[in-house]
Amino acid sequence: MDVRINKFLADHGIASRRAIDILISKKRIRVNGVVLQKPGFIVHNSDRITVDGKEIKHESKKNVYILFNKPRDCVTTAKDTYGRKTVLDYIQSDSRIFPIGRLDKDTTGVLILTNDGECAHTLMHPRYSVEKIYRAYIGKAFSEKDKKLFESGIVLKEQSARGGPASGGKTAPCKTHFFQKDRRDVVITLHEGKNRQIHRMFGALGYTVEKLERIRYAGLDAGDLKQGEWRNLTKKEIELLIPSK
């Protein structure tokens, strides 16, 4: 087996490829006892690989795909250095799973977790323009003028995401409509995922987001799941999510 280190670790459920590259930059990964310096390293079967001192075995695994209805006050990480409750505190799985992308601590709704690094890479890559639908409750009525500006794209100031790249520039066009004609209750359809994008887009136009929920991601919604509940995806859902599976 000859494969790049980020793909190897992503396939073994450590994190997404992008997150693995960040771990490498923080010198948290060793190969044969040597701190890895660059993300392009090629892994061989004989290599001993450790992450934070824990060895990652060269073994096959069964892919797991979980749909979770994330509650508020829950962080979208596997571990939290501040002792806050994480999404993995809600889910019982024998596999080493991780969330695909992030939702802010106070944002609720649909989140997918997996140990399939290739799936995570595909869903998060901008090239694939995965659809994300949110419902936002804002502090005042959304004017028709601002609605059109919002949909055509908002220029955001540069802002470094935690552990990720800066996410400024103009947002891609999106769609909005009102939930039950309430001009403070807005449904937004995006095909990108900049850091705190919806908060920043509304903020740029002088609105505050009082409540935010992701109601659909990659064609999947929470269905009957209450906040804090989860389930495994069905075979049909997995095929829709990643048609090659």
Show which residues are catalytic.
104
- Ranges assigned E (strand) in the chain: 3-4, 29-31, 34-35, 42-43, 49-51, 54-56, 65-70, 98-99, 108-114, 132-138, 155-156, 169-170, 175-179, 182-190, 209-217, 230-232
Residue 219, SS3? coil
Record the tokens describing residue 14, joined without a space: 């450590």
**Residue 112 to residue 94: CA distance in whole angstroms:** 16
Record the tokens describing residue 126, joined without a space: 């901008």
Pairing verdict, β 230-232 and 132-138: unpaired
Any idea what DSSP says for residue 74? -
186, β-bridge pairs: 136, 178
HSE value, Cβ hemisphere, 13 Å, CA-based, for 193: 21
Q: Are 67 and 220 in contact (CB under 8 A)?
A: yes
Residue 123, SS3? helix
CB neighbours of 45 closer than 8 A, spacing ≥ 6? Answer: 1, 58
For residue 104, report the phi and psi dihedrals to the nearest 5 degrees. Answer: -60, 160
